[in-house]
Amino acid sequence: MWPWLLITASLSQSVATPLSFSLAHAESPEASVSPSPSSSASPLPTVDPSTLTESALLWKGGKAAYLSGNYKEATSMLQRLVDRYPASPSYLEAQHELGLSYLRLGDAKKALKPLQIYIESSEVVAAFNAKPELAEAYLRANHAQEALLTSTEILSRRKSAADLRLKALLLKSRSLLALHQDSRATQALEAFKKEAKKDPEFEGSDLKAPAQAADFSLKARKCARFPSSGKLDEAQVQNQMSRKGDCLLEAALLYKELLWTGSLEWTEASSKELEGSYSTYHRQCRNPPAPREPGKKPRTAAQLKSYAAELSEALSSDCVLRTQRTLELLKPNDKTEPLPEALSAQVRQLNTRITQSMQLMQSPQAQPKSEKH
């Protein structure tokens, strides 16, 4: 028999394989891929031609949905593909885009497994290039330590591409920020800024908004350190509360720079942080810390009450002036500084809430009292 007849007969037998058998094989435990942080890449199962029709359609539809930004539809199709057809030639790429789709839908926990599978089973370069995405998923899933380890792993590789180093430095800073290691987070962010200056495409990249948000958060946390703990005399309290007001104005400037990135996601989180910072500032102005005792004889309750009332009045007046500067700075100007409507609405809401907090501080019902430190 001629060789081409043998090949034709072989193909005919393969195509005739029942679909039920291929689905059973695809759904069997032996055909699944389970991620393990320490496991090495294992060979994928051989492709069963009878499963190509549906798996190819799922891949085509899922990829199209992903590229068009329809991440909900993408997760539906890609999840079905990887669950039913682990032998598909598109299996690993589908895991990658499935993880990214979950990440963009805000479900970082679900994004972890497909990204881990992709990284563990892909060839070296593709797997390494996906590590920043895995670190991002870790960070958003509140696994900051894992995100820090992953970003550090990228930076430890000397031959990492410049764009990967930039991503890793920013992820390292954000991870340290989440771990409340502000000093180290600042160092990593400064290293990121230094590298970013060398990149002509940075200003238009998707790294600018999270970098600006990290810068703002570090400044807001620095402001929160005022007034310092312990007993302070009147002059020290006034000095430190003035410094807090100036610090918050600087934070508001960083927030305004964040607005110009046009990122609704990052500005929304920073808006809440700035609002909370001013709420605390107003409360502290209204209720100054307890005074340091001038001598051996402690002050009476009446003296403490009088001290708190006088200092609160002085602090509140200064607090109003400094808050008004921030409100003026953040006041939207649609003619000279047009912003997308969603961002403008966010800023207006922030201004309203800061104003309400300031008015509450000034209300007669807010009786001053010394706060213990």
Quick one: angle between helices 341-362 and 264-286, nearest 10?
10
159 — pLDDT class (breaks 50, 70, 90): confident
- 231 closest CA partner among 316, 323, 307: 307
369 — pLDDT class (breaks 50, 70, 90): low
Q: Measured in Å, how far apart are the chain's first and last C-alpha atoms?
A: 95
Average pLDDT over residues 279-303: 85
pLDDT at residue 164 is higher than 60: yes
At residue 291, the 3 state secondary structure works out as strand
Q: Which helix (H) or strand (E) holds 23?
A: helix 19-27
Please tell me the predicted confidence (pLDDT) of residue 204: 87
* 10-67: pLDDT as tens digits: 333 333 333 333 333 333 333 333 343 433 444 555 545 554 589 999 999 999 999 9
Angle at 99 between CA 97 and CA 101, to 5 degrees: 65
Verify cis geometry, omega within 30 degrees of 0, for the bond prior to 227. yes
- Note whether 103 and 137 are within 8 A (CB): yes
* 113-133: pLDDT as tens digits: 999 999 999 888 899 999 999
What is this structure's pTM?
A: 0.80
Domain 45-122: which CATH number of 1.10.260.40, 1.10.10.60, 3.40.50.920, 1.25.40.10: 1.25.40.10
Angle at 32 between CA 27 and CA 33, to 5 degrees: 160
Angle at 278 between CA 272 and CA 283, to 5 degrees: 125
